[in-house]
């Protein structure tokens, strides 16, 4: 029977914008590896499939009022791989601001170190502020970021495939360590990247990391349909998630991929209490701690720095209060999601920012564990999700509640596994080990 794939998205002190101010948020610093060790071990003990660390290669401009993840994800997961044994380790890395050869060796190293548990969240980096940190005068356009990502994927795939599985002979008697003929230099010469030599290490246990992607614009969807084995996506309502699901799975099929090789995990930030009242009370506590100006700054970032400072707080908004989404060079699908939500519910700015404070445009839920299980089962069984990207509003408190209260219900309903499976992340997700060329054809 099909079961849910559940990932833990570790971000700051939790996904609610004001999580760090809540008395139950972890007292540990976000630079303290113990904070992440605790979360990783809890997630592993809870039988979650993977943990994920996002990354931004620029300092957010709301630093005065909000902490963010500081530690670089791959470095952090290197440490966590030594205090865990089974859980998948997914790190973000940018195709726009990393050299293919370096990225290939970082992930191959972690695949070896973690014995096959690594995943790569492939991002093009929508943040406009990042450009200046890498010698770019202006933000790289949405179209150009994805065009570069295409070439980048071709280069890194050739690097991960440059060593055959059996290239190492380790023939100590004969004095032959490796069969050089089984190591193929990429000699990649693309429109953006050229990479000559083979990777400087043998193939990792998974061959290539599990490919994760999180762009939902038409370009992003097409990219995901060709490459992604896990897709993170943001949806406030089931209907848009269903449309996304059938579109992307349909495109993947057109590329000759089978639907079970693509796991679509909408983000979900649940607040649960033993009663609905208790859950509502927690939600209000958090919303009351949220700072409108932090929300306004984050909204501006989503629209590439657009100035929303003159918008009144309590007047219903309309699409005309926002830049034309097709011109947004930042996170295009998120901008679209926000304008759609404004139009659908005639939200005021205050209402919009409160809605986004919960999980930045991902789904949120407030209720009892049983009600949450119903909500998740509904999306899972009606073509909207293969599982969820869990975004606990306050960490580790709400992760503990999910593991203790929700997961046993899902297991009782035979919707979630009761033991870890497989010896690599790929095998745990029942993913093929066969490789596909960057153009999507089988090899």
Contacts with ligand FMN by CB under 6 A lie at 54-56, 92, 121, 123-126, 142, 214-217, 219-220, 232-234, 267, 331-334, 389
Token match 């179209």: residue?
A: 143
At residue 171, what are phi and psi to the nearest 5 degrees?
A: -85, 90
Tokens of 173: 């008697």
**Which is nearer to ligand FMN, 15 or 257 (by Cβ)?**
15
At residue 42, what are phi and psi to the nearest 5 degrees?
A: -65, -45
**Which is nearer to ligand FMN, 92 or 206 (by Cβ)?**
92
**Which is nearer to ligand FMN, 10 or 279 (by Cβ)?**
10
**Which is nearer to ligand FMN, 205 or 220 (by Cβ)?**
220
From the CB of 224, what's the least distance to ligand FMN, in Å? 9
- Nearest CA-CA partner of 333 in 297, 360, 296, 309: 360
Tokens of 413: 């309903």
From the CB of 405, what's the least distance to ligand FMN, in Å? 23
Contact 169, 177 (CB under 8 A): yes
**Which is nearer to ligand FMN, 242 or 348 (by Cβ)?**
242
Contact 408, 373 (CB under 8 A): no
Contacts for 321 with CB less than 8 Å, ≥ 6 apart: 308, 311, 342
**Which is nearer to ligand FMN, 317 or 331 (by Cβ)?**
331
Token match 């592993």: residue?
A: 44
From the CB of 180, what's the least distance to ligand FMN, in Å? 38
Contact 378, 365 (CB under 8 A): no
| DSSP 8-state secondary structure symbol assigned to residue 86 | S
**Which is nearer to ligand FMN, 203 or 302 (by Cβ)?**
302
From the CB of 183, what's the least distance to ligand FMN, in Å? 32
From the CB of 284, what's the least distance to ligand FMN, in Å? 26
Question: How far is 375 from 285, CA to CA, in rounded Å?
Answer: 23
At residue 234, what are phi and psi to the nearest 5 degrees?
A: -110, 125
Contact 373, 406 (CB under 8 A): yes
From the CB of 8, what's the least distance to ligand FMN, in Å? 12
State the angle between helix axes of 349-359 and 276-289 in degrees (0 to 180), rounded to the nearest 10.
110
Contacts for 102 with CB less than 8 Å, ≥ 6 apart: none
**Which is nearer to ligand FMN, 264 or 406 (by Cβ)?**
264
**Which is nearer to ligand FMN, 35 or 163 (by Cβ)?**
35
From the CB of 76, what's the least distance to ligand FMN, in Å? 13
From the CB of 187, what's the least distance to ligand FMN, in Å? 30
Contact 275, 15 (CB under 8 A): no
- Nearest CA-CA partner of 198 in 185, 214, 217: 185
**Which is nearer to ligand FMN, 19 or 333 (by Cβ)?**
333
**Which is nearer to ligand FMN, 19 or 124 (by Cβ)?**
124
- The per-residue b/e assignment along 411-432, b for 16 or more CB within 10 angstroms, e otherwise, is eeeebbbeeeebebbbebbebe
Contacts for 362 with CB less than 8 Å, ≥ 6 apart: 15, 234, 235, 236, 266, 267, 268, 269, 389, 391
From the CB of 23, what's the least distance to ligand FMN, in Å? 27
From the CB of 11, what's the least distance to ligand FMN, in Å? 9
Question: How far is 443 from 441, CA to CA, in rounded Å?
Answer: 7
Question: How far is 188 from 327, CA to CA, in rounded Å?
Answer: 33
From the CB of 196, what's the least distance to ligand FMN, in Å? 28
Token match 């030599």: residue?
A: 197
- Nearest CA-CA partner of 259 in 215, 232, 228: 228
């Amino acid at each position: 029977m099909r079961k849910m794939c559940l990932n833990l998205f570790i971000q700051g002190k939790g996904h609610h914008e004001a999580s760090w101010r809540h008395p139950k948020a972890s007292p540990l610093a976000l630079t303290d590896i113990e904070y992440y060790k605790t979360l990783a071990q809890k997630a592993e003990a809870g039988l979650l499939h993977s943990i994920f660390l996002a990354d931004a290669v620029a300092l957010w401009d709301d630093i005065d009022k909000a902490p963010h993840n500081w530690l670089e994800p791959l470095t952090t997961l290197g440490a966590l791989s030594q205090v865990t044994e089974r859980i998948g380790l997914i790190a973000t890395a940018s195709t726009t601001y990393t050299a293919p050869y370096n990225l290939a060796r970082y992930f191959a190293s972690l695949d070896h170190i973690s014995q096959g548990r690594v995943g790569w969240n492939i991002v093009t980096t929508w943040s406009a502020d990042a450009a200046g940190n890498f010698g770019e005068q202006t933000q790289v356009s949405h179209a150009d970021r994805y065009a570069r990502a295409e070439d980048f994927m071709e280069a890194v795939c050739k690097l991960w495939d440059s060593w055959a599985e059996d290239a190492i002979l380790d023939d100590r008697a004969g004095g032959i360590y490796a069969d050089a003929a089984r190591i193929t230099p990429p000699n990649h010469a693309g429109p953006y990247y050229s990479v000559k030599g083979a990777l400087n290490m043998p193939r990792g246990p998974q061959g290539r990391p599990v490919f994760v992607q999180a762009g939902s614009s038409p370009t992003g969807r097409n990219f995901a349909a060709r490459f992604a084995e896990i897709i993170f996506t943001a949806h406030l309502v089931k209907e848009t998630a269903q449309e996304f699901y059938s579109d992307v799975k349909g495109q993947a099929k057109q590329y000759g991929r089978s639907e079970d090789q693509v796991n679509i995990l909408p983000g979900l930030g649940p607040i649960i209490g033993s009663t609905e009242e208790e859950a509502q009370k927690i939600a209000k506590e958090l919303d009351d701690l949220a700072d409108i100006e932090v929300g306004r700054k984050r909204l501006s970032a989503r629209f590439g720095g657009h100035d929303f400072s003159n918008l009144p707080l309590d007047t219903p908004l309309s699409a005309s209060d926002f830049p034309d989404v097709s011109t947004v060079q930042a996170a295009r699908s998120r901008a679209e999601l926000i304008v759609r939500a404004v139009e659908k519910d005639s939200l005021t700015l205050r209402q919009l920012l409160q809605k986004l404070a919960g999980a930045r445009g991902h789904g949120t839920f407030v209720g009892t564990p049983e009600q949450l299980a119903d909500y998740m089962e509904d999306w899972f069984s009606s073509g909207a999700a293969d599982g969820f990207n869990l975004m606990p509003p306050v960490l580790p408190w709400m992760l503990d509640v999910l593991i203790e209260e929700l997961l046993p219900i899902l297991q009782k309903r035979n919707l979630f596994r009761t033991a870890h499976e497989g010896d690599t992340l790929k095998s745990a997700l029942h993913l093929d080990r066969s490789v596909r060329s960057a153009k999507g054809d089988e090899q």
